[in-house]
Structure 1
Amino acid sequence: MSRTERLFTLLQALRQHRFPVTGASLAAELGISLRTLYRDIATLQAQGAEIEGEPGLGYVLRPGFMLPPLMFSTEEIEALVLGSQWVAKRTDTQLGRAAQNALAKISAVLPAALRHSLDNSSLLVGSPSQAEADAVDLSIIRQAIRAGYKLGIDYCDLQGNVTQRTIWPLALGYFDHVRMLAAWCETRQDFRHFRTDRIFALRAGKEHYPHRKHELLKAWRAADAARQAKNSNNS
């Protein structure tokens, strides 16, 4: 491992720890001596990385440090290319364009050899089967999820019944044939999954739902796991 790669790996290791981690643990993780670790931390601090701590107490990287020109392994480059291709082909237009733009930004700061690997990847994502068309703009749903806003929807169920709902959008799942929105439904007072191709009208409000999103996601996952376990026991 070159020194540049080692410094980058050290940064990545620090990013994975929210609380101070000892120098001995970091040195063992990187397979280097404690003396080398202290020298590398001093180098990163001199380059502007906000690494706080000292020998014997531990180190933590404060958020906000911008990485220098990126270093990726060949497999990491392949993963980035495949991921962006999948998003471009299997999600909505806005998200697909964002994936291509992100990959272009990464390519712009890569060293020449790695940029060549990115531009000439031989791994491909197959064309998706025909998905049901969405009648609403999914970017509005994603914005509501990020901001924690309620949404009003007109929804048509499998029996053709149309109802108006107020929902708290939590997660958007992209599958080959359909996209699914997980949300808390005020009408049903429970978590529900809505096919986005069956949402015929969308009303974006500015009212926050009353709970933190991470708490609702945790409750939704628990409810979904319980429902799957029940179905498994009944089958």
Structure 2
Amino acid sequence: MLILVSQGSRDGFRGSVFIDLDQTIIEDRAIQLIGRVLGSEDLIVKTLTSREPEYIRSQKIASLLKGQDINFVLNIVYNTIRFRRGVDEFTDYLIKNNFVINIVTLTYKQIAETVIRRFKNDFGIDLGGYVRIHAPILEVDKGNKITGRIIVPAELSARLKVPFCIKCSLCKRFIVRIEGFGEILSVGDAKPDTCMFIESDHSILILTSSTPKIALFNSSYIAKDFVDALEILRRIIK
């Protein structure tokens, strides 16, 4: 399990960065890539776009994976993801300026860990002791089969309410509140990422084809990709 910066280990770091995964670090939603291979993409999209609270949607999507071998599912992710343009140089700049990088995602933790492995393979950047992952965990049985349930550690289950709260399985605002230190930057593309924005000193919205207005209104800066975001980063972190 990839948790490379221990709780409270902040000595020598300048600050903390909180970055979303789907459609931010990577181009697509990882769970849709999985569904495309398994033949369940339509059901996944229907669930993702429903009006139910996010934690219910997350549980329903996990149930669609029930019985699948976790390694098979993670191999799909590893082999099909595409990284957003410039994310490697953006990340490298953060490392060189001594920032802890927190990946905060509603996608499952094992998927985020797989993305990190692929990142190192593609770009040759060793994230070393700079990365933490905060995400719900897909429960897996002793035979490596997905049970269809998710686990959210009790210490991460609190929610900090906002007027636009969609009741996420993991509250991104809470994560920034308890993990943020020094100069705090957040990066994301979607409504839940707005909760990180309002807890941060600086925030960068990465544009997508479905950028929500609430994220536009609450971000400090707007970028079409990480090439743009790096130019912003160089202005605010010197």
TM band (smaller chain) = under 0.3
More strand by share: 1
Relative CO higher for 1 or 2, CA cutoff 8 Å, sep ≥ 6?
2
More helix by share: 1
* Higher gyration radius (CA): 1
